[in-house]
Amino acid sequence: MNPLIVRKVASGAKKVFTNKYVIIAIIVIISLWILKGGITKLIRSYKEKQFDKNEAKDYNQLAQQYRAAANPSGSDWMIDWDGTDEEAIERLGYQTKGHLASVAAVYKQKFHETLTDRLRKELDTDEFQNWRNIVD
């Protein structure tokens, strides 16, 4: 290629790209493009995270509260002898309504036994049935 033409093209391009309005326009377009995609993505992922966190936190808390009601002494090895907070379990039943599967899954993961097995041990037949009726 003719070096003169190359130089002319280069200087023409240089003029265009050193024009401050052109630069500002390019910066604005790129910024808008990044902002649009980036912000939408950020908002979506933030909302999803918040949702998951809140849900998981609630199930976690409920599982923890069932454990505390079944294990008032706070010592795992005492759980079968330390009595039961039946009122708390009934109250938790109302909070668990509609979410038993999720709460039970968290409970099992944390305490390596199923929630219903634990409650059968802690409650008498009528109390357990009462709890089931509340939860279902």
Phi first, then psi, for residue 82 (nearest 5°) are: -95, 15
- Residue 81 C-beta: closest distance to Ca ion, Å: 7
Positions in 43-82 near Ca ion (CB under 5 A): 70, 79, 82
- Residue 96 C-beta: closest distance to Ca ion, Å: 18
List helix spans (H) across the chain: 3-18, 20-70, 86-96, 100-111, 115-122, 125-135
- Residue 51 C-beta: closest distance to Ca ion, Å: 34
Positions in 80-109 near Ca ion (CB under 5 A): 82, 84
> Site mask, Ca ion, residues 1-40, x = CB under 5 A?
----------------------------------------
- Cβ burial, residue 63 (10 Å; 0-12/13-18/19+): buried
CA dihedral 92, 96, 100, 104 (to 10 degrees): -40
Task: Determine the size of the site formed for Ca ion (CB under 5 A).
Answer: 4
**Contact residues: Ca ion, CB under 5 A:** 70, 79, 82, 84
